[in-house]
Chains A and B, each alone.
Chain A
Amino acid sequence: MPSELRLRVESGLGNGRVRVNIRRAMDHLVHKRAAAFPDAEEREGLRAQGEAIRAEALARLPELLETLERTCTGNGMRVHWAETAAEANRIALDILRAKGARTLIKGKSMVSEEMGLNAFLAAEGIEAVETDLGELILQLGGERPSHIIAPAIHKDRYEVAELFGRCFPELPYREDIEGLTAAARAVMRERFRAATAGLSGVNFAVAETGTLCLVENEGNGRLCTSAPDVHIAVMGIEKVIARLDQLPPLLTLLTRSATGQPVTTYVNLISGPRRAGERDGPSEVHLILLDNGRSRVYADPELRDTLRCIRCGACMNHCPIYARLGGHAYGTVYPGPIGSILEPQLQGLDRQGELAEASTLCGACAEACPVKIPIPKLLNRLRWEAVRPDPDAPTLAPGSRRRALPALGWWLWAWVYASPGRYRAISTLAGRLRWLAPRRLGAWTRSRTAPVPAPRPLSRLVEAEGFERE
């Protein structure tokens, strides 16, 4: 029986409209990133710096988190630790209940997606309102983001127009993008005015100064964090960096890699609630630090590199698989190459291990990554973790994808390749029996010729050319 992933891939490949929308957007983003880094030497210098800053932050993660807690608390924020998504949801709910908030306006946050916050709050009678244009479109349509930066990238203007027409019948029907954007502004304005509580994610948290850094273009993030009386920020524990002067290189890497912008319209640095004498800003700022499996990832020195990620999305933009499928086929909060290494670690190899197999290991992601995460290497590592029966392995559900037949096949392969004699014998035999090779191999041979063993193995041909055997 095909797996759920394979079924989603089938249906993703069959959706022509989504494929056209995604491909157009990805080509555009790849082009914009390339134009944003005209100087390869500068780009590589920045990437090396970004890698070093993030690697340092992870090497000192426990210490930096403690410093962050101390500096944020010193700045007047309240810091909460959540081991699981459920705990984080409960903390957010308690804050909202204490404030008597019935509505929560939200800036874009992938961690809140990871928490499943909106559905949780809805069940508790609190309405969560997505205010980012892309996220609003998805919330109205009951969909999930298909890209971590451009969440509604799979939709075109006509689909958005139809959706807005249905959800906001009082507004004039428009199909032009400017009109649709104006409609979103009009609808959201009252929400921003009336809300008592706002939530945001965090792009970087600076341990040294107790500062939360948020980047955005629309202004909805600033509105969510400065207009209501309480601001709740949610972040994965890996987002901390040591010092404020490390922020500029990361910011320029983030925005250039993500959308090709030199900088976003707004960079919002929050170091605490409203201070004495200030006339606006939230009177409470809460920071929820979410673990949700990250500590386990942190524990392995190689897999830890996964946590360097600054969530720019460049790996998906450059991925030949993502660009043809879109994010929904992955079926996870984080899609694309980064999702394929992160999700199997957060959710377990039994549940998401197959994602690590859904790659050609072409390496485009690692080449684009602003902090040089070796994604193909980690995909390979996770493939191995998924089939290695070691209960002490550092991953969740190690060995859970081990099957008897492939395991036997690989054992045989290793046995043959471990000895030149056996290898010679088998390759000669394969050449003799080449007429037995199947001519059809499912979908593969629909547009390709099946591979057939050569009549004489390469080693023999090389010998015949007079090369020494080494």
Chain B
Amino acid sequence: MPGAAELTVRRFDWGAEEQTARFSQALVAVQGQVIEVGADWPRRVADLLAERGAGRLAFGSEAELAAELTRGWPPDSPVRLVPWAEPIETGRDRLFGEIEAALTGCRGAIAETGSLILWPGRMEPRLLSLVPPIHLVLLDPREIRSTLHELLVEQAWSAGMPSNALLITGPSKSADIEQTLTYGVHGPKELIVLIRASSD
């Protein structure tokens, strides 16, 4: 927009390794879980969910990760995969009542604050990262940037915003009673980030 003073982009020169370390540290500080995974990550997801007694994992049926997930999913897993393609009008009750976990991709992450960037849309509905009690996110560490400022300038967000863009930093929480932090209020109770090993 013309007439407005230019801002210096607030960013930090952290190397790739430090960036990932800082991201993990910041996210863990707000009760997020970070797990490094290899090519067999669908199996890891299946194990994690089985441990938690979750019965159904939803994912965007047209999401980028969909093919890899279904291909790598252990056939003997007690957790059922639910490719999610239903409009909310018909899927509302199932989403609120039956889905214990959802897996989404992300559009990057912020090292400074441990935040994930999601642009939900046609491939991945926005409620997937919100309604199920467990939210898993697959992250390529090469997508991590030092600050939000750096990331949104680099990805040229101002050229066109999606209907919904999100920063997610940890599971939902509240401190409304006596300023005491409690996790798992209205959004997910658990946020698990799967960082793909850089050798991938």
Which residues of A come within 8 Å of B, CB atoms? 21, 24-25, 28-29, 49, 52-53, 56, 60, 67, 75, 131-134, 137, 150-153, 155-157, 160, 177-178, 180-182, 184-185, 188-189, 192-193, 207-211, 217-220, 222-223, 226-227, 242-249, 251, 259, 262-275, 277-281
Contacts and interface: CB of A to CB of B under 8 A. Distances in A.
Contacts of B180: 157, 177
B161 A219 contact: no
A347 to B, nearest CB: 28
B178 interface: yes
Contacts of A193: 92-93, 96-97
A132 B171 CA distance: 16
A213 to B, nearest CB: 10
Contact of B85 (A152, A262, A279): A279
Interface string B74-95: 0000000000111110011100
B96 A60 contact: no
Contacts of A60: 3
A263 B115 contact: yes
Contacts of A271: 161-165
Given A52-B5, A193-B92, A244-B157, A278 B186 contact: no
B188 to A, nearest CB: 7
Nearest to A53: B7
Contacts of B115: 263, 267
A223 B1 contact: no
B186 A220 contact: yes
A160 B153 contact: no
12 contacts: A21-B178, A25-B179, A133-B185, A209-B158, A218-B186, A242-B4, A245-B9, A249-B149, A265-B169, A265-B170, A268-B164, A280-B125
Contacts of B4: 56, 242-243, 246
Nearest to A222: B130
Query: Nearest 8 CB-CB pairs, A to B?
Result: A219-B187, A134-B176, A280-B88, A267-B167, A219-B172, A248-B149, A271-B161, A133-B176
Given A133-B177, A226-B164, A265-B173, A245 B130 contact: no
Contacts of B9: 245
A86 to B, nearest CB: 30
B16 interface: no
B78 to A, nearest CB: 25
Contact of B177 (A177, A209, A251, A259): A177
Interface in B150-199: 152-153, 157-158, 160-180, 182, 184-188
Nearest to B31: A265
B166 A268 contact: yes
Given A21-B178, A217-B172, A278 B185 contact: no
A273 B163 contact: yes
Contacts of B176: 132-134, 137, 150-152
B172 A262 contact: no
Given A263-B113, A269-B165, A281-B164, 19 more contacts: A53-B7, A193-B96, A209-B157, A209-B158, A217-B174, A219-B172, A219-B186, A227-B130, A243-B4, A244-B158, A248-B148, A259-B175, A262-B114, A265-B173, A267-B167, A278-B121, A278-B122, A279-B86, A281-B126
Of the candidates A150, A177, A265, A266, the one having the most CB atoms from chain B within 10 angstroms of its own CB is: A265
A85 B93 CA distance: 36
Contacts of B163: 75, 270-275, 278, 281
Interface residues on B, range: 35 or more
B198 to A, nearest CB: 25
Contact of A192 (B96, B112, B147, B162): B96
B30 interface: yes
A189 B7 contact: no
Contacts of A272: 163
Given A270-B163, A278-B163, A157 B127 contact: no
Of the candidates A259, A272, A274, the one having the most CB atoms from chain B within 10 angstroms of its own CB is: A274
Nearest to B84: A279
Contacts of A243: 1, 4, 158
B10 interface: yes
Contact of A219 (B84, B125, B185): B185
A208 to B, nearest CB: 5
Contacts of A270: 163-164
B101 interface: no
Contacts of B162: 271, 275
Nearest to A27: B179
Contacts of A56: 4-5
Contacts of A24: 178-179
A177 B127 contact: no
A49 B7 contact: yes
B161 A177 contact: no
Contacts of B85: 279
A246 B127 CA distance: 28
Of the candidates A132, A152, A219, the one having the most CB atoms from chain B within 10 angstroms of its own CB is: A219
A217 B158 contact: no
A262 B113 contact: yes
A23 B79 CA distance: 49
Contacts of B126: 222, 226, 280-281
Nearest to A135: B176
Given A180-B177, A279-B85, A248 B1 contact: no
A264 B84 CA distance: 28
Contacts of A156: 177-178
A245 B152 contact: yes
B144 interface: no
